[in-house]
Amino acid sequence: MFLVINVAYFLNKFLQHIFLLAFTFITCREAQATHIVGGDITYRHIIDDSFEVKLILYVDCAFGSQQAIALDTNAMIAVFDSSNTLIKTLLNYRSAPVRVNSVNYNCVAPPSNACVDKYIYTYYTSLPNIPGGYVIAFQRCCRNNSISNILTPGQVGATYWIHIPDTSTTSGYNSSAEFNSLPPNFLCVGRDFIYNHTASDADGDSLVYGLYQPFIGADFFNNLPRPPSPPPYSGVSWASGFGTPNMMKGNPELSIDSLTGVLKVKPQFTGQYVVGILVKEYRNGKYINAIRRDFQFNVFNCQFDVVSAFSKDIHLCSDTVKFVNQSVGATSYLWDFGDTLLNIDSSTLAEPTYIYTATGAFMVKLVATKGNCKDSILVRVTIDKDIGSFAGEDQQICKGDSLVLGTENTGNFSYSWFPADYLDNPASGEPIAKPPVSISYIATRATDVCVNRDTVNIFVPNIGAGFVSHFNLLCQDALLKIDSPEQVNSDKWLLDGVAMSRDEVIQLSYQFNKSYVLQFIVEDSGCVDTASKIITPYINDSLIMVYNVFTPNKDGLNECLSIRGLILEKDCSRIFIYNRWGELLFDSNKDGTCFDGSVKGNPLSQGVYYYILEHYAKKYTGSITLLR
């Protein structure tokens, strides 16, 4: 009986564990059920170390798990430092949902079986400046199982993250860019989709647009990481035939203009496609940050009442365009030719002709209308008629200065400059030139249709201020001789910062072994050039040596006191010989250049004598030994 009771007890416990595991599995399945459509993170600097961080999530409100959506009532984001160490977590509640159901086309309804809601989470936190800045991240699983362009979408989630750079990178606290609007999540098969997917930056930084590979994050076993895992993060695995350059089967394929932020695609197949929109932020030409939007487009077959259409990518070597209207179902039209130089650049004709007043690229808009239904389209029209100078005006600069060539590039042109000498980028429409001599540049502006050429001349006055000088040495001082250049009216000389004439400079007596700063300044045609030298009258006495022993013994060798390195009668030199009592025995200026150990013909006794040697303005002293 005891055994039966224990078996029953353990069986009961086993069944409880099985039920608990099943309940936990079902709960986990519900919590990670597919519902994520997209999202992005931005931040705004408030004051001092205070920041506002904004997380936006887009969820599938038609087929997404309601339990999973309910669990996202609050969201946790993580803050990491540059070594990917977790600094803190932030938890906050979401805003009320906003329904996203735009299709970007008029007189066509979105599919009734699709639904997307937008939620906003706002966090306020202190982020003191640290080297390398911070990374803020959020992760959630899972994406819609029906996504067409990535592998196992229902088993992977998403990571939304952003970097906050330190102030050394940005010269102060930075606020990220923010997307101006959300593109419609419903697109139509076979219809052009053109959307101005721009962003704004509160700091006025330059923005460059592109596409990126969205990131995965969280999974079946850890569907709501709290805290999110640290960087680096991995990208999604593309399905066969898809990739970052071709996220959607289109003709043309999905693309975004790097300068204008205009997003374009003409989808070819129905389905759901995850795309990544990237906006890089530059300050003074230096990359500092990026924002990323991971978003899902739903492509379906649409029924239109009105379609606006006309010839695409018009590119003419002319200023006159005859527009061919290809719209369907419309009864009236309004054209905007995008010519900002004129106040009146519109027409209500079905197929107007327009004459442009300048070269460049123009965004032409056609609004086609029938009753309450309207459709519009934007098409780039490039006018490449050579109606003016594009190489710039002839100019004069000074040697060492630079200037920008060309005029503002408003068209989709390619450029080349010849010669390429002294240009920073000969393929630019506005290269920076820094020629040291006068030069002429030929600019070629080309498109698939036209090739135009223009010339600009840059004059650089040749006013080299170099000079050659040397010293003429006198016995007590030196005179400067300037061999070049020739004296001109615009010349100016400075000696140790004092203005002098050329004659004053060369007539001045210069002290030996003293350094002077001599500057020669030339002005011509508004340009100035300066040559500067340090000049020093120098006596080379490194080879001078008075031999300390001589033997005037009538053997013909070493009869006179020898001095190596100079000739007394030629080198502003004089030697005096003294005995130990200071009596002057010999003076080379009076007694000749040979001291033979005698005074007035009387031989001196052997012993030590003393000399003073004067060489230019310098004196040398020492002793000599006389041996016989």
pLDDT (0 to 100) of residue 340: 81
Q: What pLDDT, on a 0 to 100 scale, did the predictor assign at position 472?
A: 87
Better-predicted residue by pLDDT, 485 or 71: 71
Q: What SS3 state is found at 306?
A: coil
pLDDT digits (tens, 9 = 90+) for 609-627: 999 998 888 888 999 999 9
pLDDT score recorded for residue 171: 83
Using pLDDT thresholds of 50, 70 and 90, give the confidence band for residue 15.
Answer: very low
**What is the sign of the dihedral through the CA atoms of 142, 147, 150 and 151?**
positive
Is a pLDDT exceeding 80 seen at residue 175?
Answer: yes
Provide mean pLDDT across the span 73-81.
97
Residues 530, 159: Cα–Cα separation, whole Å: 61
Task: Kindly provide the b/e burial profile for residues 236-264, where b requires at least 16 CB atoms within 10 angstroms of the residue's own CB.
Answer: bebeeebebeebbbbeeebbbeeeebbbb
Residue range 99-128: average pLDDT?
A: 83
The mean per-residue pLDDT over the stretch 399-416 comes to 82
Average pLDDT value over all residues in the chain: 86
Average pLDDT of the residues in 435-457:
87
Average pLDDT over every residue of 303-307: 82
**Does residue 501 carry a pLDDT above 90?**
no
Cβ contact 481:457 at 8 Å? no
Pick the range with the lowest mean pLDDT from 255-259, 368-372, 417-421.
Answer: 368-372
At residue 416's C-alpha, the angle toward residues 415 and 421, to 5°, is 140
User: Which residue's structure tokens are 């197949």?
Assistant: 269
Q: Give DSSP secondary structure letters for 508-531.
A: SEE-TT--EEEEEEEEETTEEEEE
The per-residue pLDDT for range 447-469, each reduced to its tens digit, is 777 788 889 999 998 887 788 88
Which whole number is the average pLDDT over 131-152?
A: 93
The mean pLDDT of 165-170, rounded to a whole number, is 90
pLDDT at 192 over 90: no
425-437 mean pLDDT? 92
Q: How far is CA 41 from the centre of its chain?
A: 24
DSSP one-letter string for 145-182: TTBSSBSSGGGB-EEEEEEE--HHHHTS----EEES--
Does the structure show a pLDDT above 70 at 489? no
> How much is the average pLDDT of 596-608?
91
Share of the chain above pLDDT 70, in %: 90
Q: Which of 532, 535, 492, 541 lies closest to 511, judged by CA?
A: 535
Task: Give the residue, 624 or 389, on which the prediction is more confident.
Answer: 624
Which range is least confidently modeled, 132-136, 196-200, 336-340? 336-340
Task: Give the pLDDT mean for 555-577.
Answer: 81
Q: What is the DSSP string of 387-448?
A: -S--S---EE--TT--EE-S----SS-EEEEES-TTBS-TTSSS-EE--SS-EEEEEEEE-S
